[in-house]
Structure 1
Amino acid sequence: MKRQQIILIAGGVAALLCIYFLGQTVPAKKGTLASQNEAHTDSAATINTEALLSAAKKKLTSSQQAYITSLEASVVRGDVKTQQIRTYNQLATFWKDSARMFEPYAYYTAEVAKLENSEKSLTFAARLFLNNLRGVDEPSLKSWEASQAKELFEKALALNPANDSTKIGLGSCYIFGSTAANPTEIMQGIQQILEVARRDSTNMYAQLMLGIGGVVSGQLDKAVERLEKVVKAEPHNMEAVFMLAEANERKGDKANAIKWYEIGKRHVPNKEVVKEIEERIETLKK
């Protein structure tokens, strides 16, 4: 088990954030299309949605393909929004529960949200993409999911421009949807979140995202400052604790890295993970 897996298990689902810059080491989820060449357009850096859905259908049984085709045809024939919403919901449910493929499920959930055009449904769909792309390693798929999330967050902000959580979510799309080789987009995301943090320094979600953004962009001193603020306000926020350990380790501050790994270790129930953290600590002591 490697360091990023320790953080993932110890910090819970939200710690998928860490995989972005640590490098993915866990197996790809069942049904991922990241390695499907047919889902790519002529540009290796982009994914075509229609091709992605087509590649997903090829993984289904013949009866499942027939079912999906019939649903898709009903959307084309239907000109009533309620009928379209119902059909897209059926497609989303199928891809989630029967096919167990994330990308088509999230796509059709987003289509429902766009038709409903409510802040709640738009932000729900946006966060589906945002939370998933944090664990995606393949650049073109990461970019596609980030683009989907950005569009949804932007639509939600148009309905409620004062929602700080939505602003932070949009900024996070730039941080996690780009690569370390593209600092401009990362900084764009950080600046959007900074707008919230400067107005409300007690917003710990903003502080956490800025801390993680600092690690991604290599601004380690700022990252440590932000993350320390989070763990002071939320001492049981294990994502912040392990990110702080990582940030200090990257700085070369072994003493503080060990300190935060030790603190985080106390809240990990899995003995195997605790053992891996202890091994990491011993390595830092050398």
Structure 2
Amino acid sequence: MKKQQLILVSASLVLFIVLFFFGRTIPEKKVSDKNPSSPETASASALTTDQLIAQARQKLNNEQIMRLNQLEKGIIRGDVKQQQIDAYKQLATFWGDSAHEHLLGAFYIGEGAKLENSEKNLNFAARLLLEDMMMETNPPLQKWMGVQAKALLEKSLEINPANDSAKVGIGACYLFGNISEAPMQGIQMVREVLAKDPHNAYAHMVLGMGGIKSGQFDKAIEHFEAVVKDNPANMEAVFNLAESYDRKGDKANAIKWYTVVRDKIAVPEAKKEIDERIKALQ
């Protein structure tokens, strides 16, 4: 698996992860993979793309609205596939760069990729959505991202059925995207990839995050340790290993791994957060 296909691997995101976990005030509900019909996976209120666009439109100025109207007409009037592809690319740039609505930017990258039948761009757009989906706390928005990412990854698999990263990504949609009342379906997809490739870091990370989500910290630790064993420099895996030990109540190992993260990251705010957590555990 290509390294760039790992989710949340950059050291700069460690700060966000630290703030997300340490800033949480409401405990997560536990979901056991022995109970795939848990209420937590119940269908979230539907959020449509049109609604998302309408909400984003309210933030635009008059000049941006005029530009958007022009770009949207380009899709409707485009009677040649390449014209539609170009219009989608322009909309992706508009929303992502001009309007700073990166989710809609990713959506239109994906729409263009579907017409292009581009495995690379389908995977790229899906990864953008998956990264936000894993962090999102708004269930309807999280579900929208999960549905969109799953569709892109399924299209990618039609092009390349051997793309294990796409399979793991679809599994993540089931686990974290509230797209189904049967999260075990996602777990099974990821496990199948691991059965074929026991060193697949992406699969281990997804199952590890699933272990944290469900409160099964021993399972989470097992998966994060597998990643760290193969790649000690993977700071996201190291941080989540510390987090898992922390939540399990194993203070010694939590301090050990938090210290590794603190010593290797270069973000001052993250170092401060981790130092405070270490002191609280001592």
Q: What is the TM-score when the length of structure 2 is the normalising length? A: 0.83
**Pair 1:188 & 2:185 matched:** yes
Does the residue aligned with 2:264 lie in a helix, a strand or coil?
Answer: coil
**Following TM superposition, by how much is the alpha carbon of 1:142 offset from its aligned partner in structure 2, in angstroms?**
0.6
Within 5 Å, give how 1:139-150 maps onto structure 2. Answer: 139-150=139-150
CA distance in structure 1 between the partners assigned to 2:99 and 2:209 by the alignment: 33
Q: Deviations over 1:193-248 (max 9, x none)?
A: 11010111121221222111111122211111111111111111110111001101
* Aligned residue number for residue 165 of structure 1: 165
Does the residue aligned with 1:266 lie in a helix, a strand or coil?
Answer: helix
Change (3 A) 1:190 1:247: same
CA distance in structure 1 between the partners assigned to 2:211 and 2:171 by the alignment: 13
CA distance in structure 2 between the partners assigned to 1:15 and 1:230 by the alignment: 20
Q: Which residue identity does 2:148 align to in structure 1? A: Q
- Correspondence for 2:209 among 204, 207, 212: 212
Q: After TM superposition, what 4+ stretches of structure 1 lie above 4 angstroms from structure 2?
A: 14-25
* Aligned residue number for residue 80 of structure 2: 80
Q: Which residue identity does 1:199 align to in structure 2? A: K
Does the residue aligned with 2:211 lie in a helix, a strand or coil?
Answer: helix
Between the aligned residues of both structures, percent identity stands at 50
**Following TM superposition, by how much is the alpha carbon of 1:113 offset from its aligned partner in structure 2, in angstroms?**
0.9
Contact map agreement 2:44 2:178 (CA 8 A) in 1: no
- Correspondence for 1:222 among 219, 222, 238: 219
Q: Which residue identity does 2:95 align to in structure 1? A: W
Which one scores higher on RCO, CA 8 angstroms, separation ≥ 6?
2
Alignment RMSD: 2.6
Q: Deviations over 1:16-35 (max 9, x none)?
A: 6788877769xxxxxxxxxx
Within 5 Å, give how 1:169-180 maps onto structure 2. Answer: 169-178=169-178
CA distance in structure 2 between the partners assigned to 1:261 and 1:77 by the alignment: 55
Q: Gapped runs of 5+ residues in structure 2?
A: 1-7, 26-42
Change (3 A) 1:15 1:156: farther
Change (3 A) 1:105 1:196: same
**Following TM superposition, by how much is the alpha carbon of 1:103 offset from its aligned partner in structure 2, in angstroms?**
2.5
**Following TM superposition, by how much is the alpha carbon of 1:12 offset from its aligned partner in structure 2, in angstroms?**
2.9
* Aligned residue number for residue 66 of structure 2: 66
CA distance in structure 2 between the partners assigned to 1:18 and 1:174 by the alignment: 24
CA distance in structure 2 between the partners assigned to 1:16 and 1:273 by the alignment: 8
Q: Deviations over 1:257-279 (max 9, x none)?
A: 11111111110223443232122
CA distance in structure 2 between the partners assigned to 1:44 and 1:230 by the alignment: 32
**Following TM superposition, by how much is the alpha carbon of 1:175 offset from its aligned partner in structure 2, in angstroms?**
2.1
* Aligned residue number for residue 35 of structure 1: none
CA distance in structure 1 between the partners assigned to 2:281 and 2:14 by the alignment: 25
Within 5 Å, give how 1:45-124 maps onto structure 2. Answer: 45-124=45-124
Change (3 A) 1:152 1:24: farther
Change (3 A) 1:86 1:64: same
Does the residue aligned with 2:60 lie in a helix, a strand or coil?
Answer: coil
- Correspondence for 2:245 among 245, 248, 272: 248
Does the residue aligned with 1:277 lie in a helix, a strand or coil?
Answer: helix
* Aligned residue number for residue 282 of structure 1: 279
* Aligned residue number for residue 125 of structure 1: 125
Change (3 A) 1:24 1:173: farther
Contact map agreement 2:221 2:245 (CA 8 A) in 1: yes
Structure 1 window deviating more from structure 2 (224-233 vs 9-18): it is 9-18
CA distance in structure 2 between the partners assigned to 1:147 and 1:24 by the alignment: 26
- Correspondence for 1:260 among 252, 257, 261: 257
Q: Gapped runs of 5+ residues in structure 1?
A: 1-7, 26-42
Does the residue aligned with 2:135 lie in a helix, a strand or coil?
Answer: coil
Contact map agreement 1:17 1:134 (CA 8 A) in 2: no
**Pair 1:155 & 2:155 matched:** yes
